[in-house]
Structure 1
Amino acid sequence: MPLTHTVGSITVTALLDGAGPFFQPREEAFPGATDAQWREADRRDPDAVGPDGGWWLPFRAFALRAGDGPVTLVDAGIGPADALATSWAPVPGRLPAELTAAGIDPADVRTVVLTHLHSDHVGWAGPLFGNADHLVQRAELDALELFHPDLPARLLGPLRAAGRLRVLDGETRLTPGVRVLSTPGHTPGHQSVLVEHGEDRLLVTGDLLVHSIQLVDPSLPYAHEEDAPRARASRESTLRTLSPVLLATPHLPTPFTPHPAGGWGGKGEGAVGGSRPPLPG
């Protein structure tokens, strides 16, 4: 069964679409990291190190649901065999099977929040979730030249034609206890999703951070950020403002990671621990 964590009445389910080695050495992805920082990151997340010493990368989406109500899905994974991410990610993904294992019918997904438009976050968006509005920041749509050239024809155009593309401008409250936060930098319109109840907070991060080394030092830039200084400001300010917070991360080996480490006391399953997932298929 997929791992879950509960915040108030909302169950957050981590859905693993796939996993595999990153396409470049991790030292090139984080060129500013020191040996000491790598040692600490590996101590925290040994399963991020692949068999060849490279970066082992999971790809996840997250489902938010109160009781048996409608589902909000945050991100849509790497997708099927012909997905936009096929040139570099371990497609086909297995999100439909993960949804089934979690007891979620795709027809019950009424909202899909796309944290950003990189190909490994939009793979199953669109037809699989025919009842869902798909939420994207306006700043992201204004920067389409940064993304896969087939994205408008394959995804955005059909969503717009079906009336299923909802454009956001900054922070937006979705439901009681669930807010979209603007966290730009990785891409111009990057957004994250905050789930909160009283003092309990869980942040579905998208690519606000992509490796535990950015928890060791949040100032470290990632080579594939469009605007590294802005990404750093988003990461540092969000973590500082929300901490203590549980991070629900697409790409860390453990889907639910307390920040600061060991400093989150909420209830739930799967908050710490985990092991390297197998490749799909």
Structure 2
Amino acid sequence: MVMIQPEEENEETVLQNLPKPQPTASTSKTTTSDTTTTKENGSDSDGFETASERGVSDNEEEDIVNKGINPENSAEDQQQQRTQNDAELVQRGVEEGNEAKLEGNRLFGNGQYEEALLQYELALQVAPQDVPSSVELRSICHFNRGVCFLRLGKYEDTIKECSRALELNPSYMKALVRRGEAQEKLEHFEEAIADMKKTLEFDPSNDQAKKTIRRLEPLAAEKREKMKEEMIGKLKEMGNSLLGRFGMSVDNFKAVQDPNTGSYSISFQR
């Protein structure tokens, strides 16, 4: 009996009989301005979007949508959305400013004036400017900073901060009173009296302002006389240096005050 061996298929025959691979998504074509390249066997971006597959304009559109403004909406709708977004930002700034102000108040109550100043400054930074809802907050923070400086003995800074508070709220009586106190500390009696008189315009029954005015008016008059004497003394020195060349002095001239007007006239005496 004769055994017949099956014919061995060579490698080439096997390869020829294998089914041909079908095109898959991993085979793609990428076209540039001057060349066309075919990627095969998964050598492309493995399913991730490339720059050529997703344009920049799509990204920009996505950014707009993510911000809550749909480019497909009408111009009026987009403007309303922007207005709403702006209002939310303003509200958030006011809320953060109030939180910083309250923390400043707590620190002030503990006598931590330097730390309180920082919190009031933070409130002024986050609270939006030129917005009606934050005007009162900003005015109060400037005033509170002025009081901190008053406690620290920095009277010039007190005057500056209270003046800023009054720019935002001209009828802020507390700011007028505190600024007047700082003016008095610096012996600016005329300015202090002016602040107290302004306070009485808003509150005619303010006893503190009335007492301050009565107390400061004599001091202001004394200071005016002292300044007048100093000015006259300087003028005499200048006059004597000039008149001395002619054998005269300022003693040859006498100032006479008119009792009705309070003005002075000069008369020459030999």
Place the TM-score, normalised by the shorter chain, in its bin. under 0.3
Q: Which structure has greater strand proportion? A: 1
Name which one, 1 or 2, has greater alpha-carbon Rg.
2
- Give the TM-score of the pair, scaled to structure 1: 0.21
TM-score normalised by L of structure 2: 0.22
